[in-house]
Chains A and B, each alone.
Chain A
Amino acid sequence: MRTLTAALAVSTALSSPVIAEDFSWAVTTDPQTMDPHAVSSAPVLGFLNNVYEGLVRRGKDMSIEPALATSWEPIGDGEGWRFFLREGVTFQNGNAFDAQDVLFSYERASSEASDVRSWFAPVSEVRVVDDFTVEIMTSAPNPIFPDSIANWMIMDSDWARQHLVEFPDKEQGNFATLNTNGTGAFRIVSRQPDLETVLEPFDGWWGEVEHNITRATLTPVQNPATALAALLSGDVDFINPVPIQDVARLQGNDDVSVIQGIEARVIMFGFPHEAETLKFSSDVTDANPFADVRVRQAVAHAINVPAILQTIMRGNAEEVAQLVSPAMRGFSDGLAERPEYNPDRARELLAEAGYPDGFSFGLKCPNNRYLNDEAVCQAATGMLAQVGLNAELDAMPVSNYWPELRADNYDMYLLGWSPGTFDAEHPIRFLASTPNEEKRLGSWNFGGYSNERIDALLPMIQSEIDDSKRQMMLDEVAGILQDEAAYVPMYVQPLIWGTASNIEMVQRPDNFFILRWVTVN
C-alpha cells in the first residue's frame, strides 16, 4: 500500500506541471473578424486583445499600463507623444517587433477602410525616431491620447505585406480576416468562424505568465438557455452573459459561480430636440412639447428608476445621473444624484409647460440590443402614463432600430452608450455636440441637441493637460446636460458572467474577457 501511495505521489508530482488545463467558453456573438482594424466592436476587440497587443493596454482596474511600449512622455507643450518601445518582442510567426510595425499599423488603422480610424483623428503625423522610439504628433495637445489607443493593436508589417493585407477589407474579407499574427499571450491554433476558435499560449510572449491554461476553446452559443445548460452540465467553463432571470438560480448552485459588476454602458432616453412637431401624437400635432425643458424634466421625474432596477434588473444595475458611469475617468462626483422619482412634480412641470393633461407620443425602443430593453421601455411607458404622458411603445430589432432613428421616426427613444475611451469626453463628442459631419461630431446625437457652451467647451476639454481644469469643464458640461435634461440617463447596465466554480478570472467594466488572467484550479 505504501509503495502504491508513494508511486501515486511521484506520478502526481511529475504530471502536475504538464496537466493540460483545457478551458472553454461560450459567448453570444462570435467575433466577426480576426482583423483588429476592420470592425470596432466589443466582441472583436475584446477577443483580439488576447492575440494582438497595443503600445499600451488596460490593467485589471482599467488603468493604462505599458504593453509594447515600456514608457511614454508628452513632447514639448503637447505637440504629441513619444513612445519608447519594448525590445526583444517577437510576433507569433517569429518576426521581430520594431518601430516600422508601429508606423505600418498606424497607416493601416487610420486608412479609409479601417473602422477604428476615428482614434487617429487628432494625429497629424507618426515619426520613427529609431528602431525603438516612435513619436506620434497631434494637431492639438491631447492629454488622453494614450488612453484612447489602448485597443489599437499592432500588426507585423512584413507579414501583412507578404499576405497582401496592407489594408482591412470589410466587404470582401482577406487573409487577415481569418488569420492572426500578434504579439499577445495567446495564438490562434484553429479558427472556424461561427463554430469554434482554439487558442494556445504563445511560448515566445514577452510578459510574465499568470494563467495556467494550455488550450482554450471559444464556441459561440446564441441561445442563452443552451449556454446556461452547457455551463451547468460542465461542457463549458464560462459563459457571458448569464440571463438576468437565471442569476438567482445559479447563485444557489455550488458547481458554478456568478461574477457581477457594472458595465460601462449607460441606458438613457433621448428626445427630438430639433423636430417641429411630434410624429406619433394623436392630440398634439402642431408643436413639439419635448423642445420644452420642463417637459423633459417631467419625464425624468416620472420614471421610477429604483423600481425598474428592482423588478426588471432584479437588483443588478446601478442608477446613474450622467452620460457616463461613476467608474469612468472624468465622472462629475458632485452631480451624482438622479432627479428624484416624483410624479407630482412631473405633473406640475407639465402644467407649467402648458400640458396639464399631458399628451400622447411615440416611444421607440430596441428589443434585442440591451439587457431587457423592451421590458424597461414597457415599465417606463406605464410610469409616464401616470403623469399623463401616453407613450405608444414601438419595440423592434436593432437592425431596424438605427435606420428608424436616423430617419427621425420617433418622439422619444431609448439609447445605451458605452464610452470607448472610458472617459467622460467620449459621450460629449458623440451625444451632446451639435451634429457636424465634417468634424465627425454628434454622430449619435439623433435628436440634434445643441448647446453653444458645450460645443465651445469640447475642444478645450480635449486639449487641456491640467487634470483639475479639465475636470471643471467636464463638470460644467455635465451640469448643463442635467439642467437641460438633454437626455434622461437611468442606470448603468450590469455585467453578469457565469463560471464553473474552479475557475478564477477578472471581470473588467468594458466586458473584455482576458484569457491571461484565468486560473483553472
Chain B
Amino acid sequence: MISFIIRRVLQSVLVLLVVGLVAFSMFRFVGDPIDNMLGQERTIEDIERLRTQLGLDQPFVVQYYKFLEGAVQGNFGVSYRQGRPVAEIIIERAPATLELAAVSGVLAILLGIALGVFTAIRRNGFAANFIMSASLIGVSLPTFLIGILLIYLFSVELGWLPSFGRGEVVDLGWWSTGFLTESGLKALILPSITLGLYQMTLIMRLVRSEMLEVLRQDYIRFARARGLKDRALYFRHALKNTMVPVITVIGLQLGAIIAFAIITETVFQWPGVGLLFINAIQFVDIPVMAAYLMLISVMFVAINLIVDLLYLAIDPRLRIGR
C-alpha cells in the first residue's frame, strides 16, 4: 500500500516535470514579451538589454531550470505585465475562481441529479422529454455563446443582473468573498449558470441512464413486488446504486470546472485566475503562464491521485494485483 502510494507520488512528480518542460518549450511560440514591455521609442539595443535582464536570451531548458529552482522555494517570479510577484497575484485572484467554481459545481450536482432522477422516472412524460431535448442545448452550445446570450437577455434587455464583474466583495483576511453582499451574489448568478450548464447536463444524462439501468435490475422488481413505496424505492435503493459512477465523474469534473473557467471568466470579465491566464497569453507574461499551468497540473494530478487511492480503498481486488 505504502509502496503503491510512493510510486504514484513519484509518477505524479514526473508528470509535473514533463508538463513544465512542454510548457516552457511552447512559450517561444506564444511570442516575444519584450515588445509589449517597451514603448515605440525603444531601440534594438533596449530590446536586447531587457531580453538579457529577463534571461530570455537563454535556451528554454535553462529558463525552465531557473523557474523550477525558484518554484521549489515558493518563488514564481515577477509578472512582466504587472511588475508584482506572481504568487501574490494568483492568491489574490484565486478566491474569485474558486467561489465561481463552487457555486456552479453545487448547482450542477443538485440540479443534475434531481433532473436526472426525474427524467428517468417519468421516462415518457412530456416534461421529461422536454428537459432531455433542452439539455442538448447545454451540451452543444459553446460556453461563450451561452454567456453572451444570458448577458443580453438578463443585463441588457431586462436589466436585472450585472453584465460583468464580481460586484462588491468583502475581504476576510486574504480571502475576498462575493457571498456577503447583494451585488456579489447577483453577479454570481449568470457566470455560474454559464459555467455549470455543461456539467449539469452531463450529470443529468449520466444519472438518467444509470438510473434506467438500475431500475431494470431484479432487486428493484422484487422490492416493488414486496410493496415498497415508490419514494423509498427510487431514492433509497435505486439512486444509491446509481451514485458510484456519478461520483467518479463529478470528482473529475470539479477539476475541469476550475481549469476551464477561462472562457466564462473572459465573457463575464470575472476577475479570477482564468482571466489572468488569458491576459498573460496576450501579453506573453511567461512567469504567470508558467505558474498557472503548473498550478492546474498540480490540481489535476492531485485529483487523479486521490481518485486512484479511493479505488484502492473501495476495491480490494486492486490491492491483490499489486
Give me the interface of A with B, judged by CB distance under 8 Å.
32-33, 38-41, 115-116, 118-119, 169-174, 177-178, 192-195, 219-223, 225-226, 229-230, 232-235, 368, 397-403, 406, 418, 420, 430, 437, 440, 443-444
How far is A432 from B276 in the complex, measured between Cα atoms in Å? 39
| A443–B148 CB distance below 8 A | no
CB distance A177 to B269 under 8 Å?
no
Is the CB of B159 closer than 8 A to any CB of chain A?
yes
B residues adjacent to A (C-beta < 8 A)? 29-33, 35-45, 50, 53-54, 78, 80-84, 89, 92, 148, 151-152, 155-156, 159, 162-165, 266-269, 271, 275-276, 278-279, 282-284
Chain B residues positioned under 8 Å from A171 (CB to CB): 50, 53-54, 78, 80, 83
Supposing A194-B276, A229-B152 touch, asked if A402 and B35 sit within 8 A by C-beta, the answer is: yes
Give the chain A neighbours of B33 by CB distance below 8 A. 399
Contact (Cβ within 8 A) B155 A235: yes
Q: Return chain A residues, CB-CB under 8 Å to B165.
A: 219, 235
Q: Closest approach, in angstroms, between the C-beta of B151 and any C-beta of chain A?
A: 5
Which of the residues A169, A223, A226, A400 comes within 8 Å of B31, measured between beta carbons? A400
Asked if B83 and A172 make an inter-chain contact with CB atoms under 8 angstroms apart, the answer reads: yes
Q: Which residue of A lies closest to B30 (CB)?
A: A399
Alpha-carbon distance A232/B136, docked complex (angstroms):
30
Measured in the bound complex, the distance between the Cα atoms of B46 and A437 in whole Å is 10
Task: Verify B50–A399 contact, CB threshold 8 A.
Answer: no
Residues of A contacting B162 with CB < 8 Å?
A: 233, 235
- A115 lies within 8 A of B45 (CB): no
Known: A118-B41, A222-B279, A232-B156. Contact between A173 and B82, CB under 8 A? yes
Considering the complex, give the chain B residue whose CB is closest to the CB of A195. Answer: B271
Closest Cβ of chain A to B285, distance in Å, is 10
Point out the residues of chain B lying under 8 angstroms from A418, CB to CB: 40
**10 nearest interchain CB pairs?**
A399-B31, A173-B83, A40-B39, A118-B41, A233-B155, A400-B31, A177-B83, A402-B35, A403-B32, A229-B163
Contacts of B29 in A (CB 8 A): 400
Is the CB–CB distance between B83 and A430 below 8 Å? no
* Complex-state Cα separation, A59 to B271, whole angstroms: 35
- Structural contact, B40 and A229, CB atoms closer than 8 A: no
Contact of A443 among B32, B44, B163 (CB under 8 A): B44
Q: With CB as the reference atom, state the residue of chain B lying closest to A38.
A: B83
- Tell me, rounded to whole Å, the shortest Cβ–Cβ distance linking B261 to chain A: 14
Are the CB atoms of A193 and B30 closer together than 8 Å? Answer: no
**Contact (Cβ within 8 A) A173 B276:** no
Contact A437 B43 (CB under 8 A): yes
Chain A: which residue is nearest B80 at the CB level?
A171
CB < 8 Å: which of B32, B37, B148, B156 contacts A400?
Answer: B32
A33-B83, A222-B266, A226-B267 as given contacts; A235 in contact with B164, CB under 8 Å: yes
Cα A118 to Cα B162 with chains together (Å) = 44
The reply to whether A40 and B40 form a contact with Cβ atoms under 8 Å apart is yes
CA distance A169 to B37 in the complex (A): 11
Give 8 pairs: A residue, B residue, CB < 8 Å, sorted on A: A32-B82, A171-B78, A171-B83, A223-B267, A233-B163, A399-B35, A399-B36, A403-B32
> CA A225 – CA B151 in complex, angstroms?
10
A40 in contact with B163 given A193-B82, A222-B278 (CB within 8 Å) = no
Q: Is B39 in contact with A39, judged by CB distance below 8 angstroms?
A: yes
- Set of chain A residues within 8 Å of B45, measured between Cβ atoms: 437
Say whether, besides A195-B271, A222-B278, A115 and B54 are in contact (CB < 8 Å). no
- Given A32-B82, A173-B84, A403-B32; A219-B269 close (CB under 8 Å): yes
Bound complex: CA A168 to CA B283 (Å): 20
B50 and A230 contact, CB distance less than 8 A: no
Chain A residue nearest to B37 in the complex (CB):
A170
What is the CB-to-nearest-CB distance from A38 to chain B, in angstroms, rounded to a whole number? 8
CB distance from B117 to the nearest CB of A (A): 36
Q: Which residues of B contact A115 (CB under 8 A)?
A: 38-39, 41-42
Residues of A within 8 A of B278 (CB): 222
Judge whether B83 and A402 touch: CB under 8 Å. no
- In the complex, besides A116-B41, A169-B83, A229-B151, 15 extra interface pairs with C-beta distance below 8 angstroms are A41-B40, A115-B41, A171-B50, A173-B84, A193-B89, A195-B271, A222-B278, A222-B282, A229-B152, A233-B151, A233-B162, A397-B31, A397-B282, A399-B35, A403-B32
Q: How far is the CB of A238 from chain B (nearest CB, A)?
A: 14
Tell me the complex Cα distance, A40–B42, Å.
9
**Known contacts A40-B41, A41-B39, A229-B152; A170 and B83 CB within 8 A of each other:** yes
Contact B269 A223 (CB under 8 A): yes
The answer to whether B40 and A430 have CB atoms under 8 Å apart is yes
**Partner among B35, B50, B78 whose Cβ is within 8 Å of the Cβ of A173:** B78
- Per the bound structure, the CA–CA distance linking A152 and B12 in Å amounts to 52
Q: Could you say which of B42, B159, B275, B282 contacts A233, with CB atoms under 8 Å apart?
A: B159
CA distance A119 to B156 in the complex (A): 45
* B208 CB, min distance to chain A CBs, angstroms: 34
B81, A32: Cβ atoms closer than 8 Å: yes
A174 and B84 CA atoms in complex are apart in Å by 8
Q: Which of B50, B279, B284 contacts A194 (CB 8 A)?
A: B279
Q: Out of A39, A40, A402, which one reaches B32, CB within 8 Å? A: A402
- Residues of B contacting A444 with CB < 8 Å? 40
By CB atoms of chain B within 10 A, which of A32, A116, A219 has the most?
A32
CB A485 to nearest CB in B, in angstroms, measures 23
Which residues of chain B have C-beta atoms less than 8 A from A420's C-beta?
40-41
Question: Considering the chains assembled together, what is the distance between the CA atoms of A193 and B29 in angstroms?
Answer: 26
B268 touches A226 (CB 8 A): yes
Q: Report the minimum CB–CB distance from A420 to chain B (whole Å).
A: 7
- With most chain A CB atoms within 10 A of its CB, the pick from B31, B80, B148, B268 is B31
Which A residues are in CB contact (< 8 Å) with B163? 226, 229-230, 232-233, 235
Q: Residues of B contacting A401 with CB < 8 Å?
A: 31
* A220: nearest chain-B partner, CB-CB: B269
Cβ–Cβ contact B271 & A443, under 8 A: no
Shortest beta-carbon distance, A22 to chain B, in Å?
Answer: 13
Check A116/B39 contact, CB under 8 A, given A173-B83, A219-B269, A226-B163: yes
A232–B154 CA distance with the chains assembled, in angstroms: 12
Which residues from A are CB-within-8-Å of B40? 40-41, 418, 420, 430, 444
Docked Cα-Cα span, A350 to B236, in Å, equals: 84
Q: CA of A118 to CA of B156 in the docked complex: distance in angstroms?
A: 46
Which residues of B are found within 8 Å of A443, using beta-carbon distances? 41-44
A223 and B275 alpha carbons, distance in the complex (Å): 11
Asked if residues B271 and A222 are in contact (CB atoms below 8 Å), the reply is: no
Please report the C-alpha to C-alpha distance between residue A442 and residue B92 in the assembled complex, in whole angstroms.
Answer: 43
